[in-house]
């Protein structure tokens, strides 16, 4: 998966911030249902199951952390 696909997914959820340190989960831009749907969409796009315990780590909650966690190029 390429970074552009991640940014397009973020746009789908009306997140236009491309700052790598932007915390998607604690920003308040997504409610709990949107966060769950975002994770499901991310799993579908990457074809990888995301371990919820990995997302509880603050370093994985920002764009840079997701890129690293999911090995996005």
User: Tens of pLDDT along 4-61?
Assistant: 888 999 999 999 998 999 999 999 999 999 999 999 999 999 898 999 899 999 999 9
Q: Name the residue range of residue 38's domain.
A: 3-69
* Residue 1's pLDDT band (cuts 50, 70, 90): low
> With 0-12 CB in 10 A as exposed, 13-18 as middle and 19+ as buried, what is 66?
buried
User: Distance between CA atoms of 44 and 40, rounded to whole angstroms?
Assistant: 6
The mean of the pLDDT values for the chain is: 92
* Residues with Cβ within 8 Å of residue 35, at least 6 apart in sequence: 25
**For the chain, percent of residues with pLDDT exceeding 90:** 75
CATH number (domain holding residue 42)? 1.10.1200
Q: Is the pLDDT of residue 71 over 90?
A: no
**How many domains would you assign to the chain?**
1
């Amino acid at each position: 998966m390429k970074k552009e696909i991640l940014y397009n997914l973020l746009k789908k959820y009306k997140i236009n911030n491309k700052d790598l340190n932007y915390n998607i989960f604690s920003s308040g831009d997504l409610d709990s249902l949107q966060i769950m749907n975002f994770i499901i969409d991310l799993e579908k796009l990457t074809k990888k199951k995301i371990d919820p315990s990995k997302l509880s780590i603050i370093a994985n909650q920002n764009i840079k952390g997701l890129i690293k966690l999911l090995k996005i190029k």
